[in-house]
Amino acid sequence: MGLDVNWAIRWLTLSAQAMAEHRMELIELDRPIGDSDHGENMDRGFKAVMVKLAESPPESAGAAMKLTAMTLMSKVGGAAGPLYGTAFLRAGTALGDTVDVDAAALAAALLAARDGIVARGKAESGDKTMVDAWTPAVDAAAGAAEDGDVRAVLLAAAEAAEAGAVSTDPMLARKGRASYLGERSIGHRDPGAVSSALILRAAAGAVE
């Protein structure tokens, strides 16, 4: 059985809860290598998504992703708004009007999201950005999709993203504000990779 719009709404709701719960953690991660505003921005952005979902309930998972994209682009400051907005927009476009999202379509949507982030931010794996969470997540999702189990796809993606976020600790930042710090960026976890892992974990948690 695939995933429908109700799953997408649960995913976004759990994402909003995660951003609220981890707001201070994301702020503290961003303090030494960024503007200290990642947690605040993400919390505000997903609270706005919740308002939009209540005002205009989407009819498909793809529509939910596109609504989220537009909201995050308009409400989230810094680099995160355009990057996450592009990710959700590309994912929504990949899903289209599909009402029953299967494992292959889900993996393709995650790939489209990652590719959107790469296209917008010009970052690659190893640059100490959210790409370091998304690329292993996409690879793990593609492997899990072969068995056709949507929950397995999302669990694999979440676990890989969490490991990817941890892997940013020893990296030298080569993109974003953290890159200005040079070697002083080493030893700090990338906040965008952490928020990405939280969002992908929420996607897995939303599967009933």
Domain ranges of the chain: 5-205
For domain 5-205, is the CATH number 3.30.70.2740? no
CA distance 187 to 204: 29
Task: Output the pLDDT for position 78.
Answer: 79
CA distance 87 to 161: 15
Length of the chain: 208
The tens digit of pLDDT for each residue in 147-159 reads 999 999 999 999 9
3-state secondary structure of 3: strand
Which is nearest to 27 in space by CA: 13, 42, 16? 42
Q: Which segments in the chain show pLDDT lower than 50?
A: none
Which is nearest to 195 in space by CA: 148, 161, 155, 170? 161
Q: Residue 9 belongs to what H/E stretch?
A: helix 5-21
Which is nearest to 198 in space by CA: 3, 45, 2, 1? 45
Task: Output the pLDDT for position 53.
Answer: 97
Task: Output the pLDDT for position 1.
Answer: 61
b or e along 83-107 (b: 16 or more beta carbons within 10 Å of the residue's beta carbon)?
Answer: bbbbbbbbbbbbbeebeebbbebbb
- Judge if pTM exceeds 0.85: yes
Compute how many other C-beta atoms are within 10 angstroms of the C-beta atom of residue 189. Answer: 20
